[in-house]
Chains A and B, each alone.
Chain A
Amino acid sequence: MDWTPPATGGARGRTALLLADDLFFTMWDTTHAGLPYLHPSRATLGLAGALIGELVLRDRLTVEGEHLRVIDTRRVHENVADGALASIMASPRHTAVRTWLEYLAKNAVKNVTGRLIAARLLTREKPTLLGRERFRYTQFTKAMWPSTRLRLDLDERAPMTVQDMLLAALVDACDLMRVVIEDPADRPAAAAYLTALLKERMPQPLKDLVGGVRAVVGDSVLTYR
């Protein structure tokens, strides 16, 4: 496809929540089932990628190849991100992105939903005896906005903020783009646009992070037991 990606900007992206919150609303069916659209093991890895992404976007971490490095030790004044940063700083011998994705995935749902519940954007239904924990939106437009925004931007080939590019890339890494772009006929063009956009505009540390998420999500398919 012969075209030049537009400059980053992204009017719609300026209304974004935190990255992991946006990813949660994209991954979870908070209107009906209250469950993730994808297998829970992969949903948690995607959220962990978003939590690391939040720290990269705020210039606390950088990702170089398969490893991450702390570049600024100051807090970001948000509990979940500060908790993740504190853990990473406390264990300097662990630098593999994979290790941190697996570690942060353990509490990713609890941390991200806790943050959304505190912000009054989400409610948690108590699990029934054999059922799973379900989450419901409290404000429909806010819950729908991340996936709607991605769909509009990808369909219209609109400029995107770096955070929204990362959001789209994480959705794709979790193999969830078909939930965002519902019409199969629109998917090839959207995928081509996203590929070109990421290649041209995505900062290298974020590209490396997405590669790490894609690999660990893929491995979770291979090592299924």
Chain B
Amino acid sequence: MRTTPSTSHSSRHDPIAGALAADRLNARAIIFFTMSAAAPLTVVAGLVPTAYAVTGSTVLPAAFLIMGVVLAAFSTGYVAMARHMPSAGALYTYISRGLGRPAGVGAAWVALIAYNCMQTGLYGAVGSALTPMLYRWFGISPPWWLIALAAWALVAVLGVMRVGVNSRVLAILLVAEVTAILVLDVTDLFHPAADMAVEMLSPAVALTSPGLGPSLMIAAVGFVGFESAATFSEESREPGRTVPRATYATVAIIAGLYALSAWAMAVAIGPGAIVETARRDGARTIFVLAAGHWSSLMVDIVQVLFVTGLVAAKVAFHGATARYAFALGRERLLPAAFGRTRPRSGAPLVGSIAQSVLGLAVIVTYAVAGLDPLVDLFYFVGTAGGFGVLLLIFVTSIAVIYYFARHAHGQDLRQRLIRLTPAAMAAGALATIMWLISSNFAALLGVPQDHWLVTFVPQLYVTVAALGVQYGVFLRWLQPNMYARIGMGAKAALPSTPLN
């Protein structure tokens, strides 16, 4: 029996529910939280041109739309399952419940690597994005790694102090970022280089293109974060309605905004020239474009927003990954020290420090090796992380089907089939996408087929997942109490174990 106050209807008659509902989130607040971490300007200015440059394909706008449809279908089952979760946590908690706890351990470890890849990759974006701006504004050109280290120090200190970026500030920044993106998109569309190239938005055209797999993978990176709306379940006013609404809206906004931006950029430059231009200008592509139509003040404002958005995303990602390690520490899937906090701030101390150490190691390694921050760090490492998250989404889509196949929740066969149809179609589509990506991994990374990275990334995830599953089986025999609490997050401390 759950007695968590949830409905506004009941809160009118129930003082307890009414008092607690005041602190709870509505769909708009949840969309703001998930979208802020998604950092739209980082994706549009950083990821989109890099994707054009590396894949050499122009199907990216359609890929965003296809991915949006697939993830919306995936979300039907995902949000339905969230209602039945004792702890609506990260994706591995769904995998634990749907496919069993050993699979959940494997997923938890895969997620730890994937999210850490994505958060360390952002240091490359910070470094490479700020270098030209500092030159333009102050006439100085420090190496990218010095800027990355400054950002690293800021994030490390804020992480331990648990100073998040204030949610109102985040909301203002997000609105400003989205407004800037839309203004630039409209400007681009009013100044086409040749024709409007509407075929770039056509899924039918994209489906026959060899560049589809890599483009879908990059599109998926842009969506990372949409899955977190469900983790606000317990904090939302009406979990049964708020969370689905927030999830679908986030998917729709991301798909629409990024498809529009990727398309507009190509229209303004010309579909035939976008790849070459992106290879030449990198993360400066949209600013070079904007400079052609807008005053330098406007370009400066967008550049400032790009930097603030990147730093805010970095702080948010750092905090989210540290909290993820905290949850695993509480479940003892990481050493228990990860489940401790810094008293005064309540920051997940060990998780935060561990990430900072990892970030420092990565920045120093890349600096010493002389690697490119945008392509080798932001794109390669970030995409490797995105691949891990997509893998988790795919496995979660199967877990959702397994779960509802075994739990009727009072529905007859016909109702269950109706519920499961979009989820099953999403699982099939995600399987196809995973196959497309895996078979085009070299093209995705823009490296030769025999490059060590092509097999390393998938093998890393498979190995870690296998080790996780083995550890889960080991726990079942030797630590049944710990085993019973896998997938519970901080609720691992609760006396009962509602997972079955």
Contacts and interface: CB of A to CB of B under 8 A. Distances in A.
Interface stretch (A2-10, A120-128, A148-156, A175-183): A175-183
B331 to A, nearest CB: 10
B493 A221 contact: no
A82 interface: no
B162 A94 contact: no
Contact of B3 (A39, A95, A217): A95
Contacts of A223: 231-232, 234-235
A42 B16 contact: no
Interface string A12-43: 00000000000000000000000001110110
Contacts of B162: 39, 224
Interface centre among A103, A173, A208, A224 (most CB of B within 10 A): A224
A157 interface: no
A contact residues, range: 35 or more
Contacts of B339: 218
B346 A221 contact: yes
A220 B493 contact: no
A35 to B, nearest CB: 9
Contact of B343 (A90, A175, A214): A175
B493 A214 contact: yes
B343 A91 contact: no
B323 interface: yes
A83 interface: no
Interface string B427-444: 000000000000000000
B346 A42 contact: yes
B282 interface: no
B343 A178 contact: yes
A103 B66 CA distance: 44
Interface string A99-116: 100110010000000000
B361 to A, nearest CB: 25
Nearest to B497: A65
Contacts of B346: 38-39, 41-42, 220-221, 224
B81 interface: no
A207 interface: yes
B33 interface: yes
Contacts of B494: 65-66, 211-212, 215
A175 B20 CA distance: 24
B4 interface: yes
Nearest to B10: A93
B323 A175 contact: no
A191 B60 CA distance: 55
Contacts, number: 110
A219 B231 CA distance: 11
Contacts of A220: 346
Interface in B1-47: 1-5, 14-17, 19-20, 33
A37 B495 contact: no
B234 to A, nearest CB: 7
Contact of A91 (B2, B16, B490): B16
A110 to B, nearest CB: 14
Given A96-B2, A99-B4, A103-B19, A221 B326 contact: yes
B164 interface: yes
B348 A221 contact: yes
B343 A176 contact: yes
Interface string A166-193: 0000000101101100000000000000
B490 A99 contact: no
Q: Which secondary structure dominates where chain A touches chain B? A: helix
A208 B494 CA distance: 7
Given A65-B495, A175-B341, A106 B19 contact: yes
Contact of A212 (B2, B14, B495): B495
B490 A224 contact: no
Nearest to B488: A215
Interface in B444-486: none
B491 interface: yes
B28 to A, nearest CB: 14
Given A65-B496, A223-B234, A224-B323, A218 B491 contact: yes
Contacts of A90: 15
A83 to B, nearest CB: 13
Contacts of B388: none
Interface in B394-421: none
Contact of A38 (B17, B164, B344, B490): B344
Contacts of B490: 214-215, 217-219, 221-222
B340 interface: yes
B493 A211 contact: yes
Nearest to B343: A38
A39 B3 CA distance: 26
A39 B344 contact: yes
A169 B323 CA distance: 23
A150 B176 CA distance: 52
B164 A225 contact: yes
Interface in B62-91: 89
Interface centre among A99, A102, A208, A218 (most CB of B within 10 A): A218
B167 interface: yes
A39 B349 CA distance: 13
Contact of B496 (A38, A66, A87, A217): A66
A136 interface: no
Nearest to A102: B20
Given A175-B340, A222-B326, A225-B164, A103 B493 contact: no
B327 interface: yes
Interface in B321-372: 323, 326-327, 330, 339-341, 343-346, 348
A176 B330 CA distance: 16
A66 B495 contact: yes
A60 interface: no
11 contacts: A39-B344, A66-B496, A94-B14, A95-B1, A106-B19, A214-B490, A215-B491, A217-B490, A219-B489, A221-B346, A224-B164
Sorted nearest first, the 9 A-B pairs with minimum C-beta distance are: A218-B490, A39-B346, A214-B493, A208-B495, A96-B3, A65-B496, A38-B343, A215-B493, A211-B495
Given A95-B3, A103-B16, 6 more contacts: A94-B5, A99-B5, A217-B490, A218-B339, A219-B489, A220-B346
